[in-house]
Amino acid sequence: MRLRLPLFLVTGFGVALLLQYFIPLPAGQAFYSRALEWMQVIFAAGLLLGGANFARLHLKRAATRKDERPYSLLALAALATMLVAGAVSIGRDSTFLWLFDNLQAPMQQTVFSLLAFFVATAAYRGFRLRSVESGLLLSVALIVMIGRIPVGELISPVLPQAASWLVDVPAVAAKRGILIGVGLGSVAVSLRVILGVERAWLGGSQ
């Protein structure tokens, strides 16, 4: 029962929504939008479940692990503040938006900007002329980097053209090769899911 019912649902919804793509009857259309809405509702419920899991985890850490207590309390305080502020109002000059604008957004932008530093160390460490392949990787990256800034044009007009040709022709070809491979792999996985053979999401079949 714990296994057969979910597997029956997977096959049922999988086949129904695959066939619906080809059956434009109003009933099929209604079922399609109903299924989309249910998926949104389930993701939303999942998000609240995440919030509950987050609170439970940090309460337990605060209670049991002394060294983690201050940090877990901080996390819980931040969560509580945001929930209370959000319950009151999320309008234009609400505390909720103020907290987002002046605390959450700047920190998110700063974490994102860490990438500028990490791109530099990754390039420094990773771009080594060890083989034909890594040589290609290194030289193309340098050409594209130089070609994309004003200095590149000053060195020679060929650079920007070479950079855009490399991006527009060979790079796009390799990307297409990857996408076709991934596309076929995805269809294979979806078929195995609908047939009930692929059960990784249910606890695996190994």
Partner 1 sequence: MKLPALDRRALYVLLFLAVALPLLFPIGLVGSVSKSTRQFHRLIESLQPGDVILISFDCEAASWAEIGPVARAVILHAMKRDLRIVGTSFLSEGTALGYRLLSELATEHGKSYGEDWAYLGFRPQYVAAMLGLGESIIREYPKDYLEQPAESLPIFAGVQSYRQIKLVISIADDSMPQYWVEYAGGRHGVPIAAGLSAVMLTTFTPYLDSHQLVGLVSGLKGAAEYEQLLGVTGAGTRGMDAQSSAHLAIIVLVVVGNAIYFRGRRKS
Partner 2 sequence: MSEPAIWISALCTLAIYSFLYRDNPVYRAAEQILVGLSVGYLVVITVRSTLIPRVWTPATDGNPWAFVAAALVLLMWTRLHPKAGWLSRLPLALVVGAGAGLSIPALLKARVTSQMAAVLTPTPDFNTFVGALGVITTLAYFHFTRPRTGVFDGVARVGTWYLMIFFGATFGFTIMSRISLLLGRSEFLLGTWLGILP
Partner 3 sequence: MMPARPGLFAIVLWAAASTSAAAPPASVLQAPHAADRPWDKGGALVVTWQNTMPVDFTVHVRRLGGAEPVALGPFPISSEQFIDSGLTSGIAYVYELAVHDPDGNQVSVVRTSPAQPRPNLFDLSRADEAILIALLFAVFLWGTFRGSPREIRPIAGVTAMEEAMGRAVEMGKPVLFSIGWGAQLDKPATLAALNLFGYIARKAASYGARLLFPAHDAVIMAAAQESASAGARLEGRPELYREEDIYYVTGSQFGYAAALDGILCREKPAATFWIGTFAAESLILSETGNQVGAVQIAGTDSTIQLAFFLVTCDYTLIGEEMFAASAYLTRDPKAQGALWSQDVLKVVVATVLVVGLVAALLNWHAVGNFLRGF
Residues 70-109 that bind partner 3 (CB under 8 A): 104, 107-109
The answer to the question of residue 191 lying near partner 3 (CB under 8 A) is yes
Tokens 């920007």, residue located: 160
> What is the rounded end-to-end Cα distance, in angstroms, of the chain?
20
Q: Is the dihedral of CA 139, 145, 148, 150 positive or negative?
A: negative
Residues lying near partner 1 in the complex (CB under 8 A) are found at 91-92, 97, 100-101, 105, 108-109, 111-113, 116-117, 119-121, 123-129, 138, 141-142, 145-146, 148-151, 153, 167-168, 171-172, 175
- Which of 49, 80, 90, 129 contacts partner 3 by CB under 8 A? 49
CA atoms within 13 A on the CB side of 78: 13
Residue 7, binding choice from partner 2, partner 1, partner 3, none, Cβ under 5 to 8 Å by partner class: partner 2
Closest approach of partner 2 to the CB of residue 157, in Å: 18
Site stretch for partner 3 (CB under 8 A), options 37-45, 80-88, 90-98, 160-168: 37-45
- Which of 25, 113, 130, 150 contacts partner 2 by CB under 8 A? 113
Q: DSSP labels for 102-155?
A: IIIHHHHHHHHHHHHHHHHHHHHHH----SHHHHHHHHHHHHHHHHTSHHHHHH
The answer to the question of residue 66 lying near partner 3 (CB under 8 A) is no
- Which of 88, 119, 136, 155 contacts partner 3 by CB under 8 A? 119
Taking the C-alpha atoms of residue 15 and residue 195, their distance in angstroms, rounded to an integer, is 9
Helix (H) or strand (E) holding 179: helix 170-194
- Which of 25, 27, 92, 117 contacts partner 2 by CB under 8 A? 117
The answer to the question of residue 155 lying near partner 2 (CB under 8 A) is no
How many helices, marked H, and strands, marked E, lie in the chain?
Answer: 9, 0
- For residue 205, report the phi and psi dihedrals to the nearest 5 degrees: -115, 5
Nearest residue to 86 via CA among 78, 95, 77: 95
The footprint of partner 3 (CB under 8 A) covers: 18, 21-26, 29, 39, 42-43, 46-47, 49-51, 53-54, 57, 60, 104, 107-109, 111-112, 114-115, 118-119, 121-123, 125-127, 137, 175, 178-182, 184-193, 197-198, 200-204, 206
